[in-house]
A and B are shown apart, each in its own frame.
Chain A
Amino acid sequence: MLSVQPRTSSGGGKSREEVIGEISKGIEDQTPVHFDMDTVMEKYPTLYNESMNTVLA
């Protein structure tokens, strides 16, 4: 169904490009920064008695 529909709409409403742009912007805005793995490794080093640190990092 979707493949036979026109890719660009004429007249009112948002174009396909606009919709995709908005969605991408929305995702980008929600995306947090990367984890700082060096700090994590420092705070949760690989320990004999705490395997959960290995699970985390």
Chain B
Amino acid sequence: MSEELDKMCTSLFNNQVPDIFSGVGFLSLKPLSSWILDLNQRITFISKWINEGLPPAFWLSGFFFPQAFFTGARQNFARKHIVAIDELEMDFKIYDEIDPQEVAEKPEDGVFCYGMYLEGARWNKTIHMIDESKPKQLYIELPLIWYVPKRNREKPTSGIYDLPVYKVLSRTGTLSTTGHSTNFVQYIELPTKEDPAKWVRGGVAAFLALRY
């Protein structure tokens, strides 16, 4: 038995993802059993896209490299409206009254996305802002988000918290040749009525996948 095979057997036995799987797979902190489920969900997401056409709402966690997806979304907008892509920045609208699964139509411009988990705070559906977590709720799912590219967009200077979005809970990544991080995805502007420094101190962040 080769060393590789031996290592793989040990990982399988310990419910860990073997190195030869994770080396070619998506970034993940999950144990093997959840990893396989995750892998299959990703495949189902892509298969559905192939068979049924563009999904009305995109499951962000299903992407290997979500940043490229957003570039694609901006490029679509740029070409449709004949504007330079580098003049476009994403605007965010949060739809907390629709279940992402029930979205039937894709938006005229931009993309609907879901699948993010918020840590350190919760989304308050009544005031449509981020708010203090409820007891014993470590992670909550963020509602459906509409990303719509806007030309020469001015970033709001107040009333928002720049929520960092990572692929996995470790919050660290390395810079890859594309200039992107292997873990950090983007900032999302979430409305808040409080000083954003409060959420910064609380380490509020969102993740595309959890540890289980």
Contact = CB atoms under 8 A, between A and B. Distances in A.
Given A23-B12, A24-B12, A30 B36 contact: yes
A27 B36 contact: yes
A2 B14 CA distance: 9
B80 A20 contact: no
Chain B contact residues: helix, strand, loop or mixed: helix
Interface string B1-40: 0000000010011100000000000000000100010001
Interface string A10-41: 00000010011001100100101001000010
Contact of B76 (A16, A20, A50): A50
A30 B40 contact: yes
A6 B47 CA distance: 44
A50 B80 CA distance: 9
Interface of A: 2, 16, 19-20, 23-24, 27, 30, 32, 35, 40, 43-44, 48-52, 54-56
Interface residues of B, number: 22
Given A51-B76, A52-B72, A55-B69, A19 B54 contact: no
Interface of B: 9, 12-14, 32, 36, 40, 43, 46-47, 49-50, 54, 68-69, 71-73, 75-76, 79-80
Contacts of B47: 32, 35
A24 to B, nearest CB: 6
Contacts, number: 44
29 contacts: A2-B14, A16-B13, A20-B12, A20-B13, A23-B12, A24-B12, A27-B36, A30-B36, A32-B40, A32-B43, A32-B47, A35-B47, A35-B50, A40-B50, A43-B50, A48-B79, A49-B76, A49-B79, A50-B76, A51-B71, A51-B72, A51-B75, A52-B54, A52-B73, A52-B76, A55-B69, A55-B72, A56-B46, A56-B49
